[in-house]
């Protein structure tokens, strides 16, 4: 039973969403954030922190340097989105060393990673090499592109919805696996107690190819084998949210925070 977690990369899409999930489940959370560079990203992060509000189960830190050797948790997670292009090297090392000192279960969780026919990412391979050298009590969980409320602005689904709001007649073809954000966070919570040490998992949605009439989005999940399939155990997740409903939730969030997204 997990009672406390420490989430590095709390500013990432998957990281902050996991914080919300853990708090919902009554888990004590310490979130280690990297402060965004852009004002709009800072404002959006502040809004999400305000939505959490004052919570006795939540503590936010904006650098792992503020942590002490006595800071502990049942599980340490390092979260990242490949849209960020790189992992924060110093924070990654600090997270692993903290887990090593206290012999804490360590989870490396990445999104925007699984893509059919894409070559193995050398950045991930380097980090996995360092992780396996330093720890034996770790697991790796990788997800495809995630969508839903608060999706990063750089993602093409977000950009398409902005065009939709602006009444531009555009269509979007997605030829890669995608997953609704809540399906990803539910999977992490469900599998946490069942993960095998030293094992690597890839998660995909059971959703098939789809086309939404409302948003002019055509999605081809592309079941072509990924080049990571030979080293990652594949898990197919049930989705309780249709693509149409997920896009509606994302659109509602954009409209709700339109001042930050600078909608006309």
**Which tokens hold the place of 224?**
């072509």
For range 134-140, the mean pLDDT: 92
Encode pLDDT of 100-134 as tens digits: 989 999 999 998 765 444 555 666 777 788 899 99
> Lowest-confidence range among 46-60, 224-238, 240-254?
224-238
pLDDT at site 219: 67
The predicted model scores a pTM of: 0.88
Are 94 and 125 spatial neighbours (Cβ–Cβ below 8 Å)? no
> Is the confidence at residue 21, as pLDDT, over 50?
yes
Mean pLDDT over 128-143 rounds to 91
Residue with tokens 């069942």: 194
From CA 60, how far away is CA 11, in angstroms rounded? Answer: 10
Q: How far apart are CA 225 and CA 145, in angstroms?
A: 16
In which element (H, E) is residue 234 found? strand 233-237
Helices marked H in 153-213: 156-165, 181-191
Judge contact between 249 and 151, C-beta under 8 A: no
Q: Look at 224 and 125; give whichever has higher pLDDT.
A: 125
Angle 89-102/122-134 helices, nearest 10 degrees?
Answer: 20
Reported as a single tens digit per residue, the pLDDT across 185-219 is: 999 999 998 899 889 998 988 766 555 666 777 76
> pLDDT at position 9, please?
92
Pairing of β 210-212 and β 217-219? antiparallel
User: What would the pLDDT profile of 67-97 be if each residue is shown by its tens digit?
Assistant: 766 778 999 999 988 655 555 788 888 899 9
Domains of the chain: 4-147+178-204+227-239 (3.40.50.720)
- Is residue 150 within 8 A of residue 252, CB to CB? The reply is no
pLDDT digits (tens, 9 = 90+) for 151-198: 988 888 888 888 888 877 777 787 778 899 999 999 999 999 889 988
Give the pLDDT of residue 113.
Answer: 64
């Amino acid at each position: 039973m997990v009672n406390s977690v420490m989430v590095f990369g709390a500013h990432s899409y998957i990281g902050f969403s996991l914080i919300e999930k853990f708090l919902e489940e009554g888990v004590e959370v310490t979130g280690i954030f990297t402060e965004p560079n852009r004002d709009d990203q800072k404002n959006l992060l502040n809004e999400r922190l305000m939505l959490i509000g004052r919570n006795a189960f939540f503590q936010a830190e904006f650098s792992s340097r503020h942590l002490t050797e006595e800071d502990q948790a049942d599980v340490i997670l390092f979260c990242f989105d490949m849209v960020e292009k790189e992992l924060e090297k110093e924070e990654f090392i600090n997270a692993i060393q903290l887990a090593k000192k206290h012999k804490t279960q360590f989870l490396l969780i990445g999104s925007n990673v699984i893509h059919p026919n894409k070559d193995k990412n050398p950045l991930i391979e380097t980090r996995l090499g360092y992780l396996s050298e330093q720890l034996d009590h770790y697991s790796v969980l990788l997800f495809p592109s995630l969508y839903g409320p608060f999706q990063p602005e750089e993602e093409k689904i977000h950009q398409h919805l902005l065009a939709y709001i602006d009444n531009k007649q555009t269509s979007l073809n997605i030829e890669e696996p995608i997953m609704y954000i809540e399906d990803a966070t539910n999977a992490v919570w469900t599998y946490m107690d069942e993960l095998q040490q030293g094992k690597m998992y890839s998660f995909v949605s059971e959703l098939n190819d789809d086309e939404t009439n409302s948003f002019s989005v055509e999605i081809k999940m592309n079941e072509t084998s990924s080049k990571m399939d030979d080293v990652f155990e594949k898990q197919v997740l049930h989705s309780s949210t249709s693509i149409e409903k997920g896009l509606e939730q994302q659109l509602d969030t954009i409209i709700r925070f339109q001042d930050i997204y600078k909608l006309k």
